[in-house]
Amino acid sequence: MRVLVTGGAGFIGSAYVRSVLSGKYPAFADAEVVVFDLLTYAGSMTNLAPVAESERLRFVHGDIRDAAAVTAVMAGVDSVVHFAAESHVDRSIAGASDFVTTNVVGTQVLLQAALEAGVGRFVHVSTDEVYGSIDSGAWTEEEPLAPNSPYSASKAGSDLLARSYHRTHGLPVSITRCSNNYGPYQFPEKVIPLFVSNLLDGKKVPLYGDGRNVRDWLHVDDHCRGIQLVAENGRAGEVYNIGGGTELSNLELTHRLIAAVGADESMIEPVADRLGHDRRYCVDWSKIAGELGYAPQVGFDDGLAATVEWYTEHRSWWEPLKHGSRV
C-alpha cells in the first residue's frame, strides 16, 4: 500500500508520518509513505529526522498547486492524507493570497489528480475553525460553515471542494475537522510553542485582548489517531469532528504555561486583540467516537508537561526557526 501524505514535513503531518513509520498503526505497518511537501517556512526535514532512515519513506519536494508534479506523485497511490496548507491565522490577516492558492487551489489540484489516478481513499484534514465561533454548546458535523478569518475561509473552501469531489465525482473523500493541536515540532509562531520559547528566553508573552477566547486543546498524537481511524474505516462523503475535551481560555492556558516553566504573571503582556478573533470553538466529536471508537488518550496535564519538556530540551530545533523568521 502506498500512502501520499501532503504537508508531511509540517507539525501534524510529520507527527502522522512518524507514527505510521514507527509502526503505531498496524493496518499501515507495511505501507510505503510518500511525503509531498513544499518545505515552506513551516515545513522542515528535521521534523522527519527520527524516521529518515526508514526504507518505507520517500520524500518528494513539490507544490500542491503544481498540477504536473501532483499528477506525477499520485501515480500508484492508494490513499491520500492531505495536511498541506498555510495554517497560521495571523499570517492570513497580514496577507491571504498564499492561503487561497495553497489551501483552495492546491486542494482542488490534488482532488483532481486523485480522481484521475483512481485513489481508494482521500482524507482531507480540515479544521473546526470552518464553523466560525460558538458562544455555548458544540458544533455537530451538520453545522453550516461560517468561517471568519481568511485562513478559516480558505480552509472552508477546500473543505467544500473535497465534499464536492465526493458528491459530483464519487471520489472516496472523508473530511476531518479538528480542534487546536499542541505537541512537539509545532512551529514557534503558534501560541503554545511561542509562549514556552519566550518564557524559556526570559521574554514576556503577548496575550491577545482580554485573554478570554476559549479553545479546545488536543494532543497532536490524538489528532493523528483520529485521522488514522478515518483513513482506515471512515465512510466516504462523511465529515468527522475530532476534539480533545480540554476547553481553556487563553488566559488559563497562559497561567498553566507560566507555572510549567516556573515563571510568574509579570511575564504576561496584554496586546491589542487579533482582528476578527473568534471567541470560542467547540466540536461535538460523538460521531467519530461512536462510529470509529475514537477517544483522546493523552491527558492535557501530562501532554502539556511533556510538550514543555520537549521545547526545553530541543532549543536547537526552535531557536533557528524563531530567529530566522518574523515570528
Query: Which residue among 3, 51, 57, 64 contacts ligand NAD (CB under 6 A)?
Result: 64
219 lies in the binding site for ligand NAD (CB under 6 A): no
**40 sits near ligand NAD (criterion: CB under 6 A):** yes
- Note whether 3 binds ligand NAD by CB under 6 A: no
| Residue span 131-160 as binding mask against ligand NAD, x where in contact by CB under 6 A, dash where not | ------------------------x-----
Question: Which residue in the block uniquely carries the three cell numbers 482582528?
Answer: 275
Contacts of 165 (CB under 8 A, 6+ apart): 111, 112, 114, 115, 122, 171, 173
User: Between 16 and 35, how does the x/- string for binding to ligand NAD read (CB under 6 A)?
Assistant: --------------------
> Within the chain, where are the H helices?
11-21, 67-74, 89-94, 97-98, 107-117, 150-169, 191-200, 220-233, 250-261, 286-292, 300-313, 315-324
Nearest distance in Å: CB 88, ligand NAD: 7
Whichever of 13 and 303 has its CB closer to ligand NAD, that residue is: 13
Stretch 175-204 residues interacting with ligand NAD (CB under 6 A) = 178, 180-181, 187
Q: Toward ligand NAD, which CB reaches closer, 175 or 258? A: 175
Name the site residues for ligand NAD (rule: CB under 6 A).
Answer: 6-7, 9-13, 37-40, 42-43, 63-65, 83-87, 102, 106, 125, 127, 155, 178, 180-181, 187
